[in-house]
Homo-oligomer: A and B are copies of this chain.
Amino acid sequence: MIGGGQLARMMVPAAVKLGLDIEVLAETADGSATIAPHTVGDYRDLDTVLGFARGVDVVTFDHEHVPQPVLRALVDAGIAVHPGPEALLAAQDKIEMRRRLGALGLPIPDWAPVGSAAELAAFLAEHGGVGVLKTARGGYDGKGVRVVRDAAEAADWLAGDVPLLVEEAVRFRRELAQQVARRPSGGLVVYPLVESVQRDGVCAEVISPAPGAGGVAQAAAHVASTIATELGVVGMLAVELFETQDGGILVNELAMRPHNSGHWSIEGAVTSQFEQHLRAVADLPLGATELRDPWTVMVNVLGGPADGDLDRARVAALAAQPTAAVHLYGKSPRPGRKIGHVTTGGPDLDDAVYRARAAAAAFD
């Protein structure tokens, strides 16, 4: 596992369950996943990554930031890398992603690469005077994304050396996320479509399944399955989607790993996204993805208690909601930081939402 954040951390219980040995290449010695056997090292350094990878059967990731030359060198050295460099490129580079999805005829927002203020201005003029400017690389959780109404607003980014793209500002009903898993020998499983509620560009809540999805669920499953198959993704794939005002869907972003929109699956699905990712990258038979409850609700714990007293907050959360699954990532509180999440389930959506929010609120 390259990357020592909470996604790698949550794969540890799945590895323990399946009897697989997991090793982490962590950015820092106090990373979330350093509860597992680990090495501390720079994932951008070829020798570091190669040395780590030679000791394992398969390499996978908790993020998409390993540089392409490093990924290619691993493959050239005969090491199994899942997902592979070619697939990962579409998760690393939004211009590449848009090009490939467009070529596959999948539903995406209108977009264009942007190299100058004139190009940006032309796109804005054709799209109602507003667009969403994105850096092609390195964005996450609302970073690397801004709404622009005038090319002059983007002068700072245009002066930089990161490639940019602009997309139409989609007027959407809500955001959805579709996860699938695919193994190297080709098996593919589809998770239920979920609704993801964003605040300030960060995932705040997820409801599984997406209420009233109807035919959109089939369309989303088709889109995600097509992407996984055509891009050769191995492991979990999360497709973030817009549900448009007219009831269609458009692909927003891709992640080729377990994703915040799938944390609900630890308790809410027969096979969690973390176990599924390990099964997929180890080319083991994939597990069932059925819901375990009519409704599952996940609420992120963002920031944590202002006084920094996580022990007190944990006691308060557990005492308030004995049916809630409280997950903490071993991170210290900091404004806006994802330090944990809470999951609830049951036959009544409102009740599950109430309990999840109440438990998460104990960390405010």
Q: In whole angstroms, what is the CA distance A79 to B17 when docked?
A: 31
Among A45-53, A130-138, A320-328, the stretch that binds chain B is: A320-328
Q: In whole angstroms, what is the CA distance A154 to B234 when docked?
A: 62
Contact of A326 among B18, B37, B330 (CB under 8 A): B18
0 or 1 for each of A189-223: is its CB under 8 Å from B? (1 = yes)? 00000000000000000000000000000000000
A256 contacts the other chain (CB 8 A): no
State the interface size on chain A (CB cutoff 8 A): 38
Contact of A17 among B13, B290, B310 (CB under 8 A): B13
0 or 1 for each of A328-345: is its CB under 8 Å from B? (1 = yes)? 111000000000100000
A29 contacts the other chain (CB 8 A): no
- 20 CB-based A-B contacts, threshold 8 Å: A9-B16, A12-B16, A12-B35, A13-B13, A15-B35, A17-B325, A18-B326, A18-B327, A18-B328, A19-B327, A19-B329, A35-B36, A35-B37, A270-B322, A279-B318, A284-B314, A285-B319, A287-B323, A290-B323, A292-B293
Q: In whole angstroms, what is the CA distance A15 to B285 when docked?
A: 28
A310 to chain B: closest CB distance in Å? Answer: 7
- Among A77-114, those with CB < 8 Å from B are none
Enumerate the 10 nearest inter-chain pairs by beta-carbon distance, A residue then B residue, closest first. A19-B328, A13-B13, A285-B319, A285-B318, A288-B322, A288-B323, A17-B327, A287-B322, A19-B330, A270-B323
